[in-house]
Structure 1
């Protein structure tokens, strides 16, 4: 039954959000066992931004953005609005006026499995958005969805208060109960990558840095000198 608004939902602590935002989506995705990515049709509208926020989840009716307006009242500092229609719809559910209202409440951005508009204004005001498409077509009002209930968006489940991390590579969801563990794993992965990067700068290659030689040998790679190769076959 639509029209449910769950209040006083738990959030991920802001200090954990800020710490996780030091790492990119790709690193966090790998750090939590290559899980949590939204499907790649959800992309950044503005480039060069990375944010982490606590999810305020919203379902909206096809072609109606009423429930986004309802959700604004439930938002607070360091939240990130996550919106999906109950049926796929590419209309422009969100623009600069809703963004202004959300930004005034300290909301860090929007992830939406639908369309947005007013891109120039959103960029000017510095409100980051990740969406499935851009559409100038506006929505109507009067049909309700739900706020702060678990939702399925872009092939992932999102619960209120989960951490949403978004950057140019996409969007990854970290369950609220796992944020501390994933943060530790991301830190360890970043340290390991820094060592690898140093080795690459010194001229080493991935076969050695990643200890891949035995693997590719077992896979059957063969090295044949050019002088022994004729017409694409060993001579």
Structure 2
């Protein structure tokens, strides 16, 4: 029989680093990190305009069984993000408003689940943000062992306990906690650079000039003409 664990203690990144990555957003942090750590696009935000970041509490569940999500609640702390996976593909609604109520009581800021959620209207009304593979009313059982705070694979991305998870309308990113400060600093530089570019674009500068793309277009054989040749022969 395989070993199953509930690991109580994990290392967490500094709160200031976590906040900086949340404020930078998934797209900017992903670029600043060197384009690593992004979960597959099948994981979608189920609400609009919400951004969270926090240390990952990871959960490995049997498909169609949310026993280990209940076990994970006990080890969560304020500011954490719960990351739930299944040992084979599942779209069952493994999480709903009752579990969200329990997580909110612990101060958990959001859920990322490579499976389904349900009670979506209630989750939105109570302000508990979720990112999921599916929304599905199919219920689950509580019968099979799994593990909490072990490395998991969520939507093609390895997520380790304590990784910094950043989630917003653009998707979900998981970064090693040790890289957090470096990525946050690089993200701040990107934001500053983008602000300067935004000002120039708003003043009417064209992207092809701002990024010096005209030589590249010419090298690739792209020609500017006033009109296409008349192929009718008239």
Smaller-chain TM-score bracket:
over 0.9
Q: Deviations over 1:12-68 (max 9, x none)?
A: 122211121111211111111112110001000111100001000001001100000
- Per the TM alignment, residue 3 of structure 1 is displaced from its structure 2 partner at its CA by 2.2
Corresponding residue of 1:157 = 158
| Divergent runs of 4+, >3 A | none
CA contact (8 A) 1:2 1:144 kept: no
Q: Partners of 2:216 and 2:189 in 1: how far apart?
A: 24
Q: Which runs of 5+ in 2 are unaligned?
A: none
Question: Are residues 206 and 33 of structure 1, via their aligned partners in 2, closer, same or farther at CA, if it must alter by over 3 Å?
Answer: same
Q: Partners of 1:82 and 1:22 in 2: how far apart?
A: 20
Corresponding residue of 2:103 = 102
Q: Which runs of 5+ in 1 are unaligned?
A: none
- Aligned Cα RMSD in Å? 1.4
Task: State the TM-score, normalizing by the size of structure 2.
Answer: 0.96
Count of residue pairs the alignment pairs up = 232
Q: Partners of 2:172 and 2:134 in 1: how far apart?
A: 15
Task: Note the 1:82-231 alignment, pairs <5 A.
Answer: 82-226=83-227, 229-231=229-231
Q: Partners of 2:151 and 2:231 in 1: how far apart?
A: 60
Task: State the TM-score, normalizing by the size of structure 1.
Answer: 0.95
Q: Partners of 2:162 and 2:13 in 1: how far apart?
A: 6
Corresponding residue of 1:20 = 21
State the SS of the aligned residue for 1:71: helix
State the SS of the aligned residue for 2:28: helix
